[in-house]
């Protein structure tokens, strides 16, 4: 099943490439593990989220057309 998803994603990327320029932007999200201390969870979950939401996104700063944008993301549990 994962191989099929990877093939679909690669096919989408190649089709998009054939149509023109495609911008890929990576995003990451950091979350404190539930076994972490309360202070660490507050700092990581809330302070990091506040900073992430209040900083300009790469697509806005680079003036990337929405039709040509592909965003990929990852969640890190620390």
For residues 20 and 8, what is the distance between their CA atoms, to the nearest angstrom? 19
Query: Which residue would you say has higher pLDDT here, 57 or 41?
Result: 41
For residues 13 and 66, what is the distance between their CA atoms, to the nearest angstrom? 15
Would you state the pLDDT for residue 60?
65
15-38 mean pLDDT? 81
For residues 9 and 4, what is the distance between their CA atoms, to the nearest angstrom? 9
Would you state the pLDDT for residue 76?
77
For residues 49 and 51, what is the distance between their CA atoms, to the nearest angstrom? 5
% residues pLDDT > 90 (the chain): 4
The yes-or-no verdict on residue 29 having pLDDT over 70 is: yes
Would you state the pLDDT for residue 57?
67
Would you state the pLDDT for residue 61?
66
């Amino acid at each position: 099943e994962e191989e099929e998803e990877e093939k679909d994603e690669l096919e989408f990327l190649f089709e998009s490439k054939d149509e023109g320029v495609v911008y890929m932007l990576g995003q990451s999200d950091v979350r404190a593990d539930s076994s972490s201390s309360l202070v660490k969870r507050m700092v990581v979950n809330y302070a990091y989220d506040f900073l992430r939401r209040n900083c300009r996104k790469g697509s806005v700063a680079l003036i990337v057309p929405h039709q040509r944008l592909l965003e990929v993301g990852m969640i890190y549990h620390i």
